Amino acid sequence: MKRRRLFILIRQVSLLALILFASSQSQSGQLFNPALDPSTNNPTSNNTTDRLIIKFKSTAGKDGDPEYLTTLIEAFTGASSSVVRETFSGAHVIQLNRQITLEAMWTLTDDIARQPHIEYAEADLIMTPQLTPNDPRYGEQWHYFQQAGGINLPLAWDLAQGETTVVAVIDSGYQPHSDLNANLLAGYDMVSDGFAANDGDGRDGDATDPGTYAPSCNEYISDWHGTHVAGTVSAVTNNALGVAGVAYRAEVVPVRVLGRCGGYLSDITDGIVWAAGAEVAGAPVNANPAQVINLSLGGRSDSCPETALAAIDIARHRGATIVVAAGNNGEESSGFAPANCPGVITVAATNDAGELASFSNFGASVDLAAPGTRILSTHNDGVIGPGSESYRLMSGTSMSTPHVSGVAALLYGIDPGITPDKVANILIRSTRPFPSACTGCGSGILDAHAAVEMLTSTEPGVTILHDGVAETGLNGELMSQQFFAIDVPPDAISLSVRSFAGSGDADLYVRSADKPDLDLFDCRPYLYGNDEECIIRPVPAGRYYVMLHGYSAFSDLTLVADYLMDEPQPGGSEKFENSEDYEIPQSSLSGALSPIQVDRVGTSGSVQVEIGIIHQSIREVSVTLIDPSGVKHNLKGFGGVGVDLFETYHLELAKQPSEGEWTLQVKDLGNRGRGYIDFWRISFP
């Protein structure tokens, strides 16, 4: 294998599970059926919709008149339409004068997207909260402390409580509650549709929840979803009242985006941007930008919508960690947005035994799991409109997500300058193993104490590195020395430490168990400039220290360390590997093909596939496994954040014969970077 140039960014993967109003899947993108009929002002069929989002190319010039879009739509459909507003990204929300079928909407967005001045066109999806109500006040908050399924929170509280941190709960708004009010900041109501809003006005600074009762879309009781989620994040604690919040010294900014029958994607994405402190037309700038954004919502979608991608990028660039639900359909999470969006932490739900909840989605986009059954939090007893404050048990990945958001807030409370990538890395790496094997459930069960301890366990003068997370903007004078350390776990098979970028000349030193110096080290490339790399293979578990020595002054250097894990299967396994390098051609329909000849007889069973791909932009790369019979198994679609892809996938191929040629197919349909297949291996039980 070539010396790997690694700069792995954590695959963010996370929004609260939401039910797609329409169960159909879009051909050109994902669609949630708005089902809001302007003529009757209430929901109609789940197979129709009336809104879309269109963005002009930056080169459109005078041809970028939004009224042109209404003319275009009328030409394609015969329906008149109107411009609702401009979104944060400069796209336009268009409302048709009537419902059309989902199939007709897909055709329309495809036709519009082909026009020379159009960057993209997509349906304005409706997303809804996903939860399963349970009996009121059953049990207590087992999800914080119970040994098998809890998040080990009490020990974390000895180290952090989330002080100075702001969490945005993008949801159905809130109802005042004496166990929550002291931790609430001013929010905003982003619901733009009159029927969904149910409050007699449009967007404004009142984020209170008037109720979601709507029999026309089978909502026979208001769920007060946002109030419940906010209580899990930051209910007031040590006040001799009710329940405790995960980050009880953090503050919550409620952003209302869900109303009757759900909420439009265009409102939700505006809510994300506003929560992060960026400008949204017509709304005042959020005076309390959020470090953590909780999205307990979602819907069925084959890929992440462009509008969501843009909003997530804006929030992340402003330092916000975005946590989302995997979904409550008991299906593969890659078919649901925003759980399948890059740049988020995607959360599955577990029960009190630490097992995957029966309703929870699962799959490659899930990063970790957290308690999501019988979760006790703040609520309201109103059936149609607001009643009296109360507490209630609820279940769903919507309930799992605020546990993770709360622990993320604990990390920001310790280190306000922590990056979203570091937060994701710590949360994912510090999880507790599942009591029994759980495929597609992420790295493990959220462990608050382990996460906080991972961030705080350091030593003076040493910066802790986290697997695949870059330290950027490093500067040093002539003869200066800076120290770092990374903890390598058991079952790691190699460690890579690399310095690059910037100007000047920094020398890289790596040593196991103790700080290196100019004479004592395990690795020292000793090259000109900042571009140096140490690869240690095999690598015993333990702490490895890194020193940057200023051979001359240097500035704006980047340092990243990562380790590659070996993941043996229970009971032993047979492994087959191809470690030859295969260049990935750009814009090729066949891509790069790396074969492995398997001489193992019998059926395949539970197959594990490990891949190592070096590439400058993993968003441009798709990965497919082709079995000996020619059947293709998708491992990774286009999308993602960062460079290089080192990942392990699990496939259930019980009846597929294992003998024959297996092929890894990697396609690159972008133009931002090049790369190659470094290695891949396949394991059979």
Residues 276 and 345: their CA atoms lie apart, in Å, by 16
Query: Considering 225, 403, 449, 466, which one is annotated as catalytic?
Result: 225
CA 300 remoteness from chain centre? 16
SS (H, E, C) 220-273: CCCCCHHHHHHHHHHCCCCCCCCCCCCCCCCEEEEEECCECCEEEHHHHHHHHH
Query: Considering 26, 81, 234, 398, which one is annotated as catalytic?
Result: 398
Q: Which tokens belong to 613?
A: 């791909």
474 burial type by CB count under 10 A (0-12 exposed, 13-18 middle, 19+ buried): buried
Please give the backbone phi and psi of residue 154, each rounded to the nearest 5 degrees, phi first: -55, -40
- Residue 23: strand, helix, or coil: coil
Contacts of residue 258, defined as CB under 8 A and 6 or more positions apart, other chains included, come to 127, 128, 129, 171, 172, 173, 191, 196, 212, 225, 226, 297
Q: Would you say how long the chain is, in residues?
A: 685
Nearest to 529 by CA among 545, 550, 559: 550
Strands 660-668 and 621-626 come out as antiparallel
Q: Are 644 and 620 in contact (CB under 8 A)?
A: no
Query: Considering 50, 171, 179, 367, which one is annotated as catalytic?
Result: 171
Q: Are 564 and 612 in contact (CB under 8 A)?
A: yes
Nearest to 258 by CA among 96, 167, 130: 130
CA atoms within 13 A on the CB side of 260: 26
Active site residue 225: yes
The alpha carbon torsion through 410, 412, 416, 419 (nearest 10 deg) reads 160
Residues 336 and 360: their CA atoms lie apart, in Å, by 12
| Alpha helices, DSSP H, located in 385-514 | 397-414, 420-429, 448-456
Residues 428 and 345: their CA atoms lie apart, in Å, by 9
Residues 432 and 356: their CA atoms lie apart, in Å, by 14
33 burial type by CB count under 10 A (0-12 exposed, 13-18 middle, 19+ buried): buried
Residue 371 is classified by DSSP as: E
Active site residue 171: yes
Catalytic residues: 171, 225, 398
